[in-house]
Structure formats: C-alpha cells, structure tokens
C-alpha cells in the first residue's frame, strides 16, 4: 500500500511539474504576430462581417473622380476591433477589412496574408464576397494593388486607424 501511495504522489507531482512548465512556456509567447507566418483566409473568416467593428461609413467615393468602387455609400468593417498599425506602420498578418458598397458594386475585402504573398504590396490579398460573406474571387489583382498603392504609407489601407 505504501509503494502505491508513493507512486500516486510521484505521478501527481510529475503532472503538476509538466503542467506548470507548459503554462510558463505559453506565458513567454510574444503577443506580436509573426511577420513570417502566412495567413490564408477561408469563408469562415468573413462570417457575420456586418457585426464587426465599423471603421468607416461614407456617403461618397474616396477619390475625387469617383473611381473608388463607384460613387456610392459604403461601410468598412474590421474583424479585429483592436488591430492597429504597428511601429512599422503595418497591420499584423491576419487583419481583415471588408467593404460593402451600395449601388450594385458589391462586397470586397482585403486580408493581410503576409509571408511571401504579394510582397510588393505588403502581403495583402484582395477578395470579392457574396452577400453572405462567402469568397467568390480571391487574388492579388493589379487593379486593387494599383489603387491602394496611393496609400502605401498607410499599409495600403484607406482606413485611418
């Protein structure tokens, strides 16, 4: 009986040591995103986007000539309410912005994919979504890159946060 109690005590002590080591290891993980990690968005990432944090609501296009997704009202949401540009001026990988434009243009999105993807434009990937937030098109379209290059100093995002 004594050997059994000793075995149980050692087993419990070993379990406690293992669990405390795992806890300490997870506490040392930096909250900063790993810029080398690529974030690949899927349909579920855009689910319920209309319930996200509203970044901007506009009644007209951003550009003076009306080319910014037509001269129509639009709403821009961000999935990560606390996502801010870091000290390097860039959003962290995994940042998701969705813009819904009234007047038939539709829903577009940009995701900071990172890694080696679209590296000339800070790793942004561009999307078209259906009304439920499902991906209908994904790419690094030159037309998106070209327009958003106007705000390269703001990490290619026209939003102000």
- pLDDT digits over 33-48, tens only? 445 589 999 999 999 9
pLDDT at 45: 97
pLDDT at 32: 40
pLDDT at 82: 86
Domain range list for the chain: 1-30, 43-154
Tell me the average pLDDT across 42-60: 91
Q: Does domain 43-154 have CATH number 3.50.70.20?
A: yes
Average pLDDT score over the chain: 77
Long-range interactions of 28-35: CB distance < 8 A, separation 24+ = 32/86, 32/92, 33/92, 33/93, 33/94, 33/114, 34/93, 35/92, 35/93, 35/114
pLDDT tens for each residue of 85-105: 888 889 999 999 999 988 777
Q: The whole model's pTM is what?
A: 0.72
Question: What tokens appear for 147 in the block?
Answer: 């327009």
Tell me the average pLDDT across 6-27: 44
Give dist(CA 109, CA 42) in Å, integer. 12
Residues β-bridged to residue 76: 56, 99
Kind and range of the H or E element at 143?
helix 142-148
pLDDT at 21 over 50: no
Our CA angle for 23, 29, 35, nearest 5°, is: 155
pLDDT at 25: 35
Percent over 70 (pLDDT), the chain: 68
Q: Is 50 helix (H, G, I), strand (E, B) or coil?
A: helix
At 116, give phi and psi (nearest 5°).
Answer: -95, 0
pLDDT at 66 over 80: no
């Amino acid at each position: 009986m004594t050997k059994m109690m000793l075995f149980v005590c050692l087993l419990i002590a070993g379990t406690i040591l293992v669990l405390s080591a795992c806890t300490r290891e997870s506490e040392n993980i930096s909250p900063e995103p790993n810029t080398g990690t690529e974030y690949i968005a899927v349909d579920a990432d855009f689910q319920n986007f209309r319930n996200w944090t509203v970044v901007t609501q506009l009644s007209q296009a951003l550009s003076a000539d009306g080319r910014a997704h037509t001269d129509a009202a639009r709403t821009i949401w961000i999935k990560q309410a606390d996502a801010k540009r870091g000290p390097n001026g860039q959003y962290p990988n995994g940042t998701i912005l969705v813009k819904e434009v009234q007047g038939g243009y539709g829903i577009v999105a940009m995701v900071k994919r990172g890694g080696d993807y679209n590296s000339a434009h800070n790793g942004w990937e561009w999307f078209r979504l259906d009304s439920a937030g499902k991906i209908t098109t994904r790419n690094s379209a030159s037309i998106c890159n070209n327009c958003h290059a106007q705000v390269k100093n703001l990490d290619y995002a026209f939003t102000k946060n």
